[in-house]
């Protein structure tokens, strides 16, 4: 008896799929032709460093907000699973508000809303933080992503079989040790892809902060367009965003392969 694996079924493309692939191929070819035919080296020479500075600002902004949001998401996720009604209700309201309202409204509430309370903020020594557009952008993005990360983490924790809890308790481990050493590592493997998707969404959503004078990648792009009136400025910005997303996607795939290599048969 042969133990060879069964042959892999060949993938069949439908007519609609072929048409869609052809359409997007034509779009990409047209875009490439436009960039080559209307290439302006002076535009790159004049605004190239500005794009790189904006790219650095975007990456720093997103990573800072994501880390702060990750720290905040842990107690929120635990609150959502808590038996305490106050903790569960408070966590639910937080998640419901920040997931149910537009990010731009949240940024405006922080940037313009807290500015209305300048005397009170000066009295408690917090005006130095809320007077800066950068701080308000980080604060808003961190609260927003904390709500999404809390739900990601809660779902990942609930995906771990209850037998893991029971087996760890049978070994005499305390609840904190079980959570940090047994449950959370398994949950993080499940949450890896959703976390990567959340970072990608944050990278794209961070373009909103240009409205409140934070010169991230989109802010520098808007400034370059206002001075050059060249549509290519936005195309270059889109290429930068695509490059960031592609790098992140490959890093996530690499991390996932390494983390689950012991599960492959």
pLDDT tens-digit readout, 222-247:
888 888 888 888 888 888 999 999 99
What are the tokens at 145? 């992503």
In the prediction, which pLDDT does 9 show?
59
Q: How many domains does the chain have?
A: 1
pLDDT of residue 1 exceeding 70? no
- Is 21 inside a domain boundary? no
Q: Of the segments 25-29, 193-197, 257-261, which one has the largest average pLDDT value?
A: 193-197
* 17 occurs within a structural domain: no
**pLDDT, position 164:** 86
Specify if 2 maps to a domain.
Answer: no
pLDDT at site 11: 65
SS3 5: coil
Highest mean pLDDT, choosing among 103-117, 134-148, 150-164, 177-191: 134-148
Mean pLDDT, all residues of the chain: 86
Q: Is residue 174 part of a domain?
A: yes
**68 falls in which pLDDT band (50, 70, 90)?**
very high
Q: Dihedral sign, CA of 175, 181, 187, 188? A: positive
pLDDT given at position 4: 58
Is 251 inside any structural domain? yes
Report CA 140 to chain centroid distance, whole Å. Answer: 13
Band of pLDDT at residue 265, cut at 50, 70 and 90: very low
Give dist(CA 99, CA 101) in Å, integer: 6
| Mean pLDDT across 165-188 | 87
pLDDT of 187 above 60: yes
In which band, very low, low, confident or very high, does the pLDDT at 98 lie, cut at 50, 70 and 90?
very high
- pLDDT of 3 higher than 70: no
Alpha-carbon span 176 to 185, nearest angstrom: 13
Of the candidates 199, 193, 213, the one whose C-alpha atom is nearest the C-alpha of residue 244 is 199
Tens-digit pLDDT profile for residues 48-58: 888 899 999 99
Is residue 92 scored above 70 in pLDDT? yes
CATH number, residue 85? 1.10.3720.10
Under the banding of pLDDT at 50, 70 and 90, the label for residue 6 is: low
Assign residue 34 a region (left: φ > 0; alpha: ψ between -120 and 50; beta: otherwise).
alpha
Q: Is residue 216 part of a domain?
A: yes
Question: What's the token pair of residue 194?
Answer: 């959703």
Q: Label residue 8 by pLDDT band (50, 70, 90).
A: low
Say yes or no to pLDDT of 122 above 90: no
Residue 134: domain span: 43-263
Which stretches within 38-117 are classed as H helix? 41-80, 85-100, 103-108
- The answer as to whether 189 is a domain residue is yes
**What SS3 class is residue 125?**
coil
Q: Does residue 18 lie in a domain region?
A: no
Q: What does the block give as tokens for 77?
A: 């996720």
- Residue 262's pLDDT band, with cuts at 50, 70 and 90, is low
What does the CA dihedral 85, 88, 92, 93 come to, rounded to 10 degrees? 50
Provide, rounded to the nearest whole percent, the portion of the chain with pLDDT above 90.
Answer: 35
pLDDT (0 to 100) of residue 264? 56
């Amino acid at each position: 008896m042969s133990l060879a694996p069964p042959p892999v079924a060949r993938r069949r493309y439908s007519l609609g799929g072929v048409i869609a692939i052809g359409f997007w191929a034509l779009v990409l070819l047209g875009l490439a032709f436009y960039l080559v035919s209307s290439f302006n080296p002076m535009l790159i020479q004049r605004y190239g460093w500005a794009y790189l500075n904006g790219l650095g600002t975007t990456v720093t902004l997103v990573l800072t907000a994501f880390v702060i949001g990750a720290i905040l998401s842990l107690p929120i996720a635990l609150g959502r699973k808590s038996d305490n009604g106050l903790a569960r209700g408070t966590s639910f309201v937080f998640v419901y508000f920040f997931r149910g309202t537009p990010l731009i409204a949240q940024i405006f509430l922080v940037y313009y809303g807290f500015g209305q309370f300048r005397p009170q903020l000066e009295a408690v020594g917090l005006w130095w933080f809320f007077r800066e557009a950068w701080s308000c952008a980080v604060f808003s993005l961190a609260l927003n992503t904390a709500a999404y990360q809390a739900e990601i983490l809660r779902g990942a924790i609930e995906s771990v079989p209850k037998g893991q809890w029971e087996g760890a308790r049978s070994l005499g481990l305390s609840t904190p040790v079980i959570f940090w050493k047994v449950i959370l590592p398994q949950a993080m493997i499940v949450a890896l892809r959703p976390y990567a998707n959340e970072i990608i969404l944050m990278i794209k959503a961070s373009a909103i902060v240009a409205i409140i004078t934070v010169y991230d990648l989109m802010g520098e792009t808007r400034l370059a367009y206002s001075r050059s009136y060249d549509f290519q400025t936005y195309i270059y910005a889109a290429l930068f965003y695509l490059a960031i997303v592609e790098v992140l996607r490959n890093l996530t795939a690499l991390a996932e392969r390494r983390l689950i290599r012991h599960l492959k048969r």
